[in-house]
Amino acid sequence: MSTVTSDQQQSLADVVVVDYGLGNLRSVTRGLERAGADVEITDDPEAFADADGVVLPGVGAFREGVENADPLREDLLEVADSGTPLFGICLGMQMLLTTSEEGANEGESAVQGLDLIPGTNVRFAEGQKVPHMGWNQLSVERDHPLVDGVDGVESESQREDGSASGGSVDDRYAYFVHSYYAVPDDEDATVASTDYEIDFPAIVANEAGNVFGTQFHPEKSGETGLRILRNFVEICSDQ
């Protein structure tokens, strides 16, 4: 367990980043600090209960993620049930769903996600370049406090050449690295989508609105990602 304290004089919220052995915890932590949070990296369920919000990060395969996080399954479900904001990032978002094609390898039984947003994760179609990696555009589909202010105003460099880069992206661009994408049972679970030969959910949320996730990495997504992280911290501060 480790605690990372924001250098801001006063934090807006106390946020826990779940340490289950996968994910770039330091990168996520720095992003949350910039967004105004005090951050604790831990696998201690007591800290989940005391936090204003919980972040489930993740990089890697669905099966490994679910199996690593399984000792914390009931504790994460309690976070969601209590109304505390629970934010999944990349693999963490996929783990909020019920199943994944990635978790059903031949000769192995399928592993179950948290089932907080019913649905499955499927692999991009044969012939598509995978992983889907790099900057891509977000299309906000419905209101949710996580996307407040993500309005798609283009930067000057975007208007000139239409490209996206780490230094200059418009308010709709985010950074993706993944080979599977979410297919929620309820299409209203999609808050924002992205086009990669097909439209897929880039941000999902449960009906209650307190469980949500981004397929992209907000901590690597420039001003767009920082805006989303700030929105998350504000959601936590309102609890």
Structural tokens at position 123: 């692999």
219 carries an active-site annotation: yes
**Is the separation of the CB atoms in 36 and 6 below 8 Å?**
yes
Q: Looking at the chain, how many residues does it have?
A: 239
Distance of CA 156 to the CA centre of its chain: 28
* Annotated catalytic residue, options 40, 144, 217, 236: 217
178 carries an active-site annotation: no
Q: Distance (Å, rounded) from C-alpha 104 to C-alpha 92?
A: 18
Residues whose CB falls within 8 Å of the CB of residue 19, separated by 6 or more in sequence, listed in order? 1, 25, 41, 42, 43
Closest CA to 189 of 87, 118, 90: 118
67 carries an active-site annotation: no
* Annotated catalytic residue, options 33, 102, 141, 219: 219
* Annotated catalytic residue, options 90, 132, 144, 178: 90
Closest CA to 207 of 193, 192, 188: 188
CA distances to 14, 105, 112 from 209, rounded to whole Å, are: 19, 32, 22
- CA angle (180, 215, 12) in 5-degree steps: 160
Q: List the catalytic residues.
A: 90, 217, 219
